[in-house]
Structure 1
Amino acid sequence: MSKLTEQDIEKKLLHLPEWEYYDDAIHAEFEFENFKDCFSAMSRIAFECEALNHHPSWSNEYNVLTISLSTHDAGGVTNKDFQLAKAIEYIVEPEE
């Protein structure tokens, strides 16, 4: 998978307003009601990561989940990162 250009990344980010691009990765931060809800979302995301064989750099502090996505083999952001970001968005903020 090849690294996307900065222009391609910015264009794709228009569809993911929670995400920002810097330091050769896309980043997002999600706040939940409490730790349990945050950890529950992380568990659901983990299954998606395994299915895609693509794993984020992430952390949580109480009710805040911070995620960074980059494809290390490509040296930057690829379509695989956007595929996972969309899956994360669906898990974290499902359509009503």
Structure 2
Amino acid sequence: MSRILEPEEVSSQLAEHQHWTVDDALTGQFDFEGFDGSIRFVNAIADEAQQMDHHPDIDIRFNKVTLTVTSHDAGGLTQLDIELAKRADQIFEGF
């Protein structure tokens, strides 16, 4: 099982990632020009999540996608959550 990160570790690693807020989970909000962009982003995230074997909760509201990431099995935030958040940001930059 992965180690749960301290709040300071999470904050410092996501300092340059403006899409994310930190609470009991990481929540990322991404805005697109339309529904098509939202769906293409979600499909790209789904592919990445499958490769990582780490799956976010995904909420699609027309042109807004919200990702919620946590390590349920560890009971908190782990390095895997940070990595998925960073990969989501990289994917978003491609849009």
TM-score range, shorter chain: over 0.9
Letter in 2 for 1:49: A
The match for 2:56 is: 56
Note the residue ranges of structure 1 that are not aligned, 5 or more in a row: none
Query: What do the CA deviations read for 1:9-46 (whole angstroms, capped 9, x no partner)?
Result: 11112132221101x11111111000011100100110
When the two structures are aligned, how many residues end up with a matched partner? 94
Letter in 2 for 1:15: E
- For the aligned residues, what is the CA RMSD? 1.3
Letter in 2 for 1:18: H
Q: Please list, as runs of the form range in 1=range in 2, the aligned pairs for 1:1-80 lying within 5 A after superposition.
A: 1-22=2-23, 24-80=24-80
Note the residue ranges of structure 2 that are not aligned, 5 or more in a row: none
Runs of 4+ in 1 over 2 A off after TM superposition: none
SS at match of 1:60: strand
> Could you tell me how far apart the structure 1 residues matched to 2:20 and 2:84 are?
12
TM-score if structure 1 supplies the norm length? 0.92
What fraction of aligned residue pairs are identical, expressed as a percent?
31
SS at match of 1:41: helix
> Could you tell me how far apart the structure 2 residues matched to 1:5 and 1:60 are?
30
- Answering whether residue 70 of structure 2 is matched by residue 93 of structure 1, we say no
